[in-house]
Structure 1
């Protein structure tokens, strides 16, 4: 019985030893692939020494691929880490940190060398060197991003590298400033070259076109690099508001940082919380500043009225000869401008930072501009109407498919009152895009009338009667002279044209008076006014009687 116990104990110890050995083998297998990849990287690094050109580039790409495989393995190990393998995983991560530090230093120096080469080579060679520099810079930024991931891994493993992490954050902040300045410079160069190309002679355009292509590629590379670093900086909790704004202004791209409603809600929440804390700590000062705010608004309202009065007197000077619409525009815009300035000054006095507000207005203006394209078209048409002044207030016009008296005009629409006292609001783009007929623009108008008489009436007598009617009317002008001529031998009448000149405001009175007087005088003088008629002649044919 004792031997059975001994044998059982022996086999138990043997089984435990096998399980321990298997566990040890399993742990070795966890790191075997990383160690193998590490050894292959070291071998490739040795092979790359002394090689240049394409051969070295190929080996460098192999090293990069091996390191990416190592990082993938490390990611899995960190995700499934245990207390036993954590020290060794930490060791591998620290090796990654050291390796990437060497890569960062090497790439930084390489970028400086390429930048110097870029300044020294000719223009055609610059495009080739530029491509290499852009690829190297993009790789450099990728390495910086991977280094940030390494520091995150170390924190998960319980061994944070705070000093190295802070140093990397400082490098990223400096990188942001450098890339921002470079983008501003290159964008300015691109704009200058664009203007030079438009005004350059034909023999100079070829060289300028190459410089412009180089500048365009620089700007595109700067935008990509700055956007990458901005995204990395956001992960580091670095404030990138100014850089995001710069990217939007230059590239015009709406990124998630600008349009994401969660970001907007978060900003609004932060502003509200800051305002609440500030108000709790500074209530007396807040009340005083609110008083100052209201006082400034009140003062600028008075200044608005004074400005409107001054501008009204200025634009009403007879020497300016401005239309009433233009006068109203200047009066309105001057008063509103003064009030807006007052509001901005009042907001600054209560401690509100106007920079993000104005930035928000700029972004909102672009978005609203896309949504209100028709309104902006009306606004542009309104400005053209004010500049060219095809009509004024109280003019009778035919425009935009309507006719009537101009009652009021804004920058987006024109109000027209019809002759039967209806109000029509017509968009300015419809008016400006159509024919505009101003009936009352001129001070003198010609009244065009046609009167027909019978073929049997005396032509000379008719002319004298018409001349007497025109001459006797007090509103008909003597100069220009009226026109009375036999115009058309019509099918049923002999037509006379009668065209007196009158003041614009007397047009319809003269038209109606003369028409009435012609009818009455023609009746007294025995002159007939024919109406359309036809004579029908019947010819009767006598048929012979049939034979009986």
Structure 2
């Protein structure tokens, strides 16, 4: 027990020593502040500003020591601390008076200055306001210190509450005005000409900074008002609406309710004010789109009638291209007009299309190559829709073509889509481009058969076929004397659509007539003559190496078996 008492006495002595040291430090700081106050009477201009900065720094140091003493105060130091706090209250009130005067002076300079100087003066005005808000915060702390010392003054606190309430209301109204002005200037910048943009940009920057400074000041005043139990729900909602920043206060129910109520109220007001106008714009938008559709259809029909004129000699591909592009162009123009009627500015949109076109052009070089090849195919018309072609290593019927690719349906009914660059860069064989084609066939007879007889039969078969044309005349000639046959070429001319029918019919009829007339159709044959070598009467001496190899082979065979 005795040891415990000694420990208490030891720590008590340390506490008294620390408190005495703080009191000594407090007296020293007060002496420094008094000296600086005396010196300030003999200075002016920038030198006076330096003295005032030193006074602020010393006062902050004094407040730090004072805060520590108030936390550890007792009856012996209470009166001294109350006196020091009252001095701080008086210092804060003198700061208010001085800063109010400075703010009015700088605001007057700001109002008279041109826009270039306003941006510079705006920073100095913000610094003065920050000092003012700091003084308000210090004054609140002074009243809290008095409450901790048991000397709370309700009249002073009520007056301070009224001051804060007036300041926060004025700053809120100023923020609303500056925010609306900044938004108006932002809208004007989007629709202004290049000559107007320079001055509008400076004005917009000025009000943008004013909004930022006002929101910063409002946040500080809200923090002070919350500690004084002033209702700040509407101000927190205003901060969220202006900045969009989520804070802990925004998540509180009253603030959320105020935000939702404001949104509903703003939405209702907007609907009542703009609904008829917007509804009319929407109806005009729909009518323009409907009219665009009708005009596009009518344009397609007119263009179709124009391009199918015989004297133009346009291919089906070219006709489809003009019809398609005419309707798409009408749709594009109609959509732009429709959007312009609902308030969309077309200049940025068209500029964006240009920039996007350049970017897409670099990204889709292969597609542009196909587009260029498609244009060349349309211009030179190597084939048309419905033609049988061999292009890009594919054979079939052209069923569709665009500026990027061509669709070919093969003979076994497969759909193959080829890029136009593959077709244009390869050999194009159009089988059905001409109305008349020659059927090339070769038939062979045996060497023992009569050439005149065979030639007569072939001519009768060709002449008897109804699809074989008389002009140009068919060509039937002995072509080659082959290894096992005498070959005839049979080349009748037919309409392109009858090509395969004539080919298959004549081939079948030649086989039937040759069999009936006793004319042979030879096929490739080969005679093989086998000669047996005679055995020698004297047996040869066996080769030891050959014999050894034979023994190895026999042993392997015996194992396999």
Q: Using structure 2 for the length normalisation, give the TM-score.
A: 0.50
Aligned to 1:408, the other structure's residue is in SS state: strand
Give the match for residue 362 of structure 1.
Answer: 354
Kept in 1: contact 2:119–2:206 (CA 8 A): no
* Correspondence 1:288 to 2:280: yes
Deviation at 1:150, TM superposition (A): 6.4
Task: Supply the distance in 2 between the matched residues of 1:332 and 1:524 (Cα, whole angstroms).
Answer: 59
Post-superposition Cα deviations, 1:142-188, rounded to whole Å, max 9, x if no partner, equal xxx9x9996676566559xxxxxxxxxxxxxxxxx99x89xxxxxxx
1:62-461 equivalences under 5 Å are: 154=124, 158=128, 281-461=273-453
- RMSD value, Cα: 4.9
* Correspondence 1:515 to 2:536: no
Post-superposition Cα deviations, 1:70-103, rounded to whole Å, max 9, x if no partner, equal xxxxxxxxxxxxx9xxxxxxxxxxxxxxxxxxxx
Mind listing any 5+ residue stretches in structure 2 that lack a counterpart? 1-25, 36-45, 47-94, 96-115, 130-191, 209-265, 540-561
Task: Supply the distance in 1 between the matched residues of 2:268 and 2:497 (Cα, whole angstroms).
Answer: 66
Whose Rg is larger?
2
Aligned to 1:475, the other structure's residue is in SS state: coil
Deviation at 1:349, TM superposition (A): 1.8
1:505 to 490, 497, 500: 497
Deviation at 1:275, TM superposition (A): 12
Q: Using structure 1 for the length normalisation, give the TM-score.
A: 0.51
Aligned to 1:406, the other structure's residue is in SS state: strand
2:488 to 485, 496, 500: 496
Task: Supply the distance in 2 between the matched residues of 1:434 and 1:276 (Cα, whole angstroms).
Answer: 66
Residues 428 and 275 (structure 1), Cα distance of their counterparts in 2 relative to 1, 3 Å cut: farther
Equivalences, count = 342
Aligned to 1:535, the other structure's residue is in SS state: coil
Task: Supply the distance in 1 between the matched residues of 2:342 and 2:473 (Cα, whole angstroms).
Answer: 72
Residues 540 and 231 (structure 1), Cα distance of their counterparts in 2 relative to 1, 3 Å cut: farther
Deviation at 1:510, TM superposition (A): 0.5
Give the match for residue 537 of structure 1.
Answer: 529
Segment drifting more, 500-509 vs 345-354: 345-354
Residues 525 and 20 (structure 1), Cα distance of their counterparts in 2 relative to 1, 3 Å cut: farther
Aligned to 2:457, the other structure's residue is in SS state: helix
Task: Supply the distance in 2 between the matched residues of 1:474 and 1:508 (Cα, whole angstroms).
Answer: 14
Task: Supply the distance in 2 between the matched residues of 1:148 and 1:483 (Cα, whole angstroms).
Answer: 101
Task: Supply the distance in 2 between the matched residues of 1:490 and 1:233 (Cα, whole angstroms).
Answer: 99
Task: Supply the distance in 2 between the matched residues of 1:500 and 1:363 (Cα, whole angstroms).
Answer: 60
Task: Supply the distance in 2 between the matched residues of 1:14 and 1:334 (Cα, whole angstroms).
Answer: 92
Task: Supply the distance in 1 between the matched residues of 2:203 and 2:395 (Cα, whole angstroms).
Answer: 62
Deviation at 1:541, TM superposition (A): 6.3
Post-superposition Cα deviations, 1:384-422, rounded to whole Å, max 9, x if no partner, equal 211111111111111122111111112222111111112
* Correspondence 1:468 to 2:431: no
Mind listing any 5+ residue stretches in structure 1 that lack a counterpart? 1-11, 22-30, 32-82, 84-144, 160-176, 182-228, 239-273
Residues 323 and 538 (structure 1), Cα distance of their counterparts in 2 relative to 1, 3 Å cut: same
Residues 309 and 13 (structure 1), Cα distance of their counterparts in 2 relative to 1, 3 Å cut: closer
Deviation at 1:338, TM superposition (A): 1.6
Deviation at 1:542, TM superposition (A): 6.5
Segment drifting more, 514-523 vs 148-157: 148-157
Post-superposition Cα deviations, 1:216-246, rounded to whole Å, max 9, x if no partner, equal xxxxxxxxxxxxx9999997799xxxxxxxx
